[in-house]
Structure 1
């Protein structure tokens, strides 16, 4: 058994003291200039640092409906490693990162409030949280290092940090900055994309200290800095309120603008004699402490008007106005998020025209692609988190399917259902529809995803299903659909009876789709006889080969050469909806596929062609279904031979489709009841 000493000794071996020393580096102002000459990135602006942080995690190219999109791994891999995940928003995230890039290059968006706008539960807060966490970690890396400075206290042994952790280069007086900047840029490494610049002035506290100490050195600021200033490595931290701020509005009566810009420290007035002495001021407002980093405004448009005026100056001029002091320079990313009702109120408020003009709005809609929505829920409902409970196949999928349907606009195309539109968005192919049609569908529904059911509602109802059946070892789609429907009556965001009925109708659509899916699965499980499938495939391919080459095929029973068996070929092709007019194309496609494999030295296997495999399985099911007589299961009168066949099918459902014993039995009984009612589709 491990002892406390052994545990601590084991942990001690993993402590990196070298990393600690790097993060707590201290040196002179001259030492800092050496660092700037070698790694000018330490002087980057907040937008430049944020943009480089995102790029540091890498990118990958993905294609969606013929269009290439850049996927930033920061929002996928980094997010997943930190328990978050943003799926299906590549286009919107591209827009956000391009805004950061424009700001980093000084094209104007650095003087704007970045506003994430979308319905509740659409990942706005998640994006903000990831950006803050990413900056924290980046500031601890070699690529993301930055520095600030401290003043020596009168006791000559302790130090007082600049309360707004400004850049040490701000200590250089304005009249000497052009020469210093020119010399620093001359030594800048080749390929570095940003110029070294010195923007903004010192905080009121450091400005006071600079002026108070300068006479002692007869105006020689270089000597003063060498004796009175110490530069240190700055690491950003939301918990320590260093470079990362978060502001959440309270009710209007309790809102106070000093929460943004700091307030007078009345206890120190007696010590320093004046309430306008910067040493008697707490520079701890969210805009103060977020200097050099990022500040998040939660539900920003719920702020009192006085706060919004502070934002105007903070964004446009990069200045704030603390009480009793002149305007103070800041360098930070201002990121807010809001929902549709609040944004509409901003649009209708003529007094807020200045704020609208200084806002870059990034829409963050709900996900409209099924596979992305499923990933959202799989993150919270997986084997590691749902211990002791088996989630039957398609349980999460049907919940996600319903959520997506509530968000989609009804298609204008007369021959397209809402379910089919969802499948097209999910990458499925449908007869008569191309990727160009999908692009057109999306173009006709630009605001799609800005309304509908929130992922939070789905998560709550899946959770309810998990705890509402303590005696069950698994939950299935019907349990979740029941929770989804029962919760609709009490859903706070459903506006009227028409919307309630519409969402309920969509649940019926999902239920019907689920029935088709499980019927197909059971059919394929029944037909999953590899030897019989291989035999059927060989027979089909022999006939297709003879047909395409205008030859005869040898009858396996008589040995005579006969015409290709058209009836057999069509009985297979009809299972995957190949019309009679396209049978020749499909058969040539199969033979070309086999020929291409042969050129590469590979042997044809029906399992490598998903459409053909499905067609063969459905054909075999049709040939074999009477030997199992699924409809007899519901009568509980099953002979031994049939029971053995059913057990084989059940084992295939468990092995191939992810069921357990209980859920496989349930789905077989369900499909059997459908067959007993004669509710089978072609």
Structure 2
């Protein structure tokens, strides 16, 4: 075990002092201008920096229905190993990034509130948290660097500890007088040509910096060059914890909250020192708009805010200005991000007095996931580590819970021949006869509200957690434990508004249970039929007979040595397992022989596993031949003979080896399937 000295030594070897010095750089205004000439990106505004931050993680392209789609890796949360990863919702992510891109290039959206809209638990907060976390980390990298300014204390200009830093961490270029800004930007034209955005100097000094600026001008007789000699510039690292460049505002009790929480308030203790409450030194520029300058401000449940706050929001979005008490309007540079749920947004739409806010928002829908595989990933993120949760989660447990959640979000298909479960499978990329990619696009276009209603992932996560603690003696939890928790919780679910809806969700649970039965029956069938030698012998026998049949030959009996007619009964017993009708048997047999012949021409050896239909037919046939010898139904009896137990143990080990069960869950699933056998509810 390492001691204190070894741990300190270990950390000392890994510290990066050079990086620390870069993050804590301080210099003069002139040196800052040199930095701009080398790297004009340090002058980017908040939207530009946020957009570039997302792109820095990389972009993947893929195709869906012959359409090119984009996936931004940033939303996988790679730096936190997927802790806040967002699965699916690519359309929402693209909408958000496109809005940031438009704002970054000054196309108008920079004057809007980006409003994430969707049902509870649809990842709106996660998306906002990712952006805040991302811009924080990006500002600590060389490519995300930004800078702010400070003023010498006139009473002690030589004391570095007495520097008055800008409380809003504003851009140092604000020091350049308005009349000269265009010419100064032109001086950087060569460097700017290599950057993604032209250098643009916009915005005025905040009241605090303006006060010091005017004091310096008076002190130096209007000599601007002497004023900037008193200026210090430093690197700024955005941090939510330190309230630098990242703000979060959420509604509270109206009696305990006023607009000063957004725009700052008078520091009454300093009024005696400075003589007036209009002196910016007697003001705390610590409202959320102030501290979020140069970064992001998040409004939690923004539409629940009192009207007084919304007025501040309107000015901040449209004019990029806020109005602190006793001071003129002050420029801000930040991404304004809000999120709200469905009922609050409907209230906004119905309120004619909120027309100005509606006009200043860009709504980005963040619905629930409607693709099963993505919903499964949401839960696996929390429940895929057996060491952490202390129990084994049986195969299909999470999948069945996710399937039910997705089913609650889908609208009944208008096509009468399509069930809701089939629709779910189509959305998940499965193929169904008679349905093309165009049909799937049509299904999605018909369902306008899909993903905006249904069960939240939080409810499912809560019920999986309940199942984990409700069975302390079990080493694993299975789908029925979770489905029972899901059903029992419907009775007091706070977001279910009608008994009709509750009954619908219960019916969907029955659909999921039936699907689970089919899945585990199939798995047990495959485990019973997983005798490779027996499968190979059955396949060889079938191929010999098919070859003789298609070439109008006879087959040599391996036991008698006599030549006999091809065994049609054997061939049909296999072909019927995959619903090949008698009228199509010749076509199927020729198809198999042509397949073998094509492999032979390419110098490849035939393997029954490579032909999916034949493999399934052989599995089902072998299962039918072996199920009686194994006597699986004896599992529901209290007495099992040793020979049967040995055969059942072999099947159990196959389930553990091939399908991810542990001993307890394998026994459970065999007992469950055995009970189905006992009531005669299995078709092979």
TM-score, with length taken from structure 1: 0.95
User: Equivalent of 1:372, from 360, 371, 374?
Assistant: 374
1:28 maps to 28
What residue in structure 1 maps to residue 267 of structure 2?
Answer: 265
CA distance, structure 1, for counterparts of residue 589 and residue 189 of structure 2: 68
Deviation at 1:660, TM superposition (A): 0.8
Q: Which moves more between the two structures, 600-609 or 418-427?
A: 600-609
**CA–CA distance in structure 1, aligned partners of residues 32 and 595 of structure 2:** 65
- Where do residues 40-51 of structure 1 align in structure 2 (5 Å cutoff)? 40-51=40-51
Q: How many pairs were matched up?
A: 678
Partner of 1:62: 62
- The Cα shift of 1:66 comes to 3.5
Do the aligned residues in 2 keep the contact of 1:177 with 1:198 (CA within 8 Å)?
Answer: yes
Tell me: CA distance 1:135–1:389, structure 2 relative to 1, closer, same or farther (3 Å): same
Q: 1:217: which partner in 2?
A: 220
Give the CA deviation at 1:619. Answer: 2.1
- TM superposition shift of 1:565: 5.8
Deviations along 1:272-300, whole A, 9 cap, x unmatched?
11111111111111111111100000000
Mapping of residues 296-375 of structure 1, within 5 Å: 296-375=298-377
Match of 1:203 in 2: 206
Q: Is it true that 1:110 corresponds to 2:110 in the alignment?
A: yes
Query: Residues 264 and 574 from structure 1, CA distance in 2 versus in 1: closer, same or farther, beyond 3 angstroms?
Result: farther
In 2, the alpha carbon distance for the partners of 1:31 and 1:430 equals 66
- Contact kept in structure 1, 2:548 and 2:554, CA below 8 Å: no
C-alpha displacement at 1:554, in angstroms? 5.1
Cα displacement (A) at 1:551: 2.5
Task: Flag the 1:325–1:529 CA change in 2: closer, same or farther, 3 A.
Answer: same
Q: Does structure 1 retain, via aligned residues, the 8 Å contact 2:322–2:329?
A: yes
Could you say what secondary structure the match of 2:203 adopts? coil
Alignment of 1:521-670 (within 5 A): 521-541=523-543, 551-552=551-552, 555-557=555-557, 568-577=570-579, 602-670=604-672
Give the whole-Å Cα distance in 1 for the aligned partners of 2:535 and 2:230: 85
Which residue of structure 2 aligns with residue 181 of structure 1? 185
Change (3 A) 1:599 1:187: farther
Q: 1:546 to 1:118 in 2, by over 3 A?
A: farther
1:46-90 CA distance string (max 9 Å, x none): 111111100000011233344331111001152752511211111
Confirm or deny: 8 A CA contact 1:551 1:563 kept in the other structure.
no
Shift of 1:426: 1.2
Q: Distance in 1 between matches of 2:582 and 2:339?
A: 55
Structure 2 distance, partners of 1:285, 1:524, is: 64
Asked if 1:505 corresponds to 2:507, the answer is: yes
Q: How does 1:222-233 map to 2 (within 5 A)?
A: 222-225=225-228, 227-233=229-235
Residue in 2 aligned with 1:86? 86
Where does structure 2 lack aligned partners over 5 or more consecutive residues? Answer: none
CA contact (8 A) 1:32 1:231 kept: yes
Distance 1:533 1:325, change over 3 A: same
**SS at the partner of 1:337?**
strand
Q: CA RMSD in A?
A: 2.2
Q: CA deviation at 1:602?
A: 4.6
Distance 1:387 1:345, change over 3 A: closer
The 3-state SS of whatever aligns with 2:61 is strand
Structure 1 CA distance for aligned equivalents of residues 238 and 181 of structure 2: 27
SS of structure 2 residue aligned to 1:334: strand
Q: Do 1:60 and 1:72's aligned partners in 2 also have CA atoms closer than 8 Å?
A: yes
d(CA) in 2 for partners of 1:63, 1:381: 30
CA distance in 1, matches of 2:254, 2:405: 35
Change (3 A) 1:238 1:469: same
1:7 corresponds to: 7
Closer/same/farther in 2, CA of residues 341 and 511 from structure 1, 3 Å limit: same
TM superposition shift of 1:104 = 0.9
Q: 1:163 aligns with which of 146, 164, 167?
A: 167
Distance 1:100 1:577, change over 3 A: farther
Distance 1:305 1:376, change over 3 A: same
Shift of 1:600: 6.2
Secondary structure of the 1:241 match is: coil
Q: How does 1:429-508 map onto structure 2 within 5 Å?
A: 429-508=431-510
**Closer, same or farther in 2 for the Cα pair 1:439/1:612, shift >3 Å?**
farther
Instruction: Identify which range, 557-566 or 36-45, moves more after superposition.
Output: 557-566
Q: Distance in 2 between matches of 1:31 and 1:587?
A: 82
User: Measured at CA, do residues 214 and 6 of structure 1 come closer, stay the same or move farther in structure 2, by a change above 3 Å?
Assistant: same
2:535/2:618 contact within 8 Å kept: yes
Residue ranges of structure 1 left out of the alignment (5+ in a row): none
Deviation string for 1:572-599 (max 9, x for gaps)? Answer: 4443455677767766776676567667
Question: Do the aligned partners of 1:148 and 1:162 also contact (CA within 8 Å) in 2?
Answer: yes
Q: 1:212 to 1:486 in 2, by over 3 A?
A: same
How many Å separate the matches in 2 of 1:590 and 1:252? Answer: 76
Relative to structure 1, is the Cα distance of residues 206 and 568 closer, same or farther in structure 2, using a 3 angstrom cutoff? farther
Give, in angstroms, the shift of residue 638 of structure 1.
2.5
CA distance in 1, matches of 2:80, 2:21: 29
Query: Contact between 1:553 and 1:561, CA under 8 Å: does it hold in 2?
Result: no
- Deviation of the 1:193 alpha carbon: 2.0
Deviations 1:589-638 (A, max 9, x none): 76676567667655443334444433321221122212112112212332
CA separation of 1:571 and 1:431: change in aligned 2, threshold 3 A = farther
* Conservation of the 8 A alpha-carbon contact between 1:139 and 1:145: yes
Q: What is the alpha-carbon distance in structure 1 between the residues aligned to residue 357 and residue 97 of structure 2? A: 22
Q: Could you report, residue by residue, the CA deviation over 1:33-53 in whole angstroms, capped at 9, with x for unpaired residues?
A: 111111111111111111110
Measure, in 1, the Cα distance between the counterparts of 2:320 and 2:522. Answer: 62
TM-score by length of 2: 0.95
User: C-alpha distance in 2, partners of 1:273/1:663?
Assistant: 77
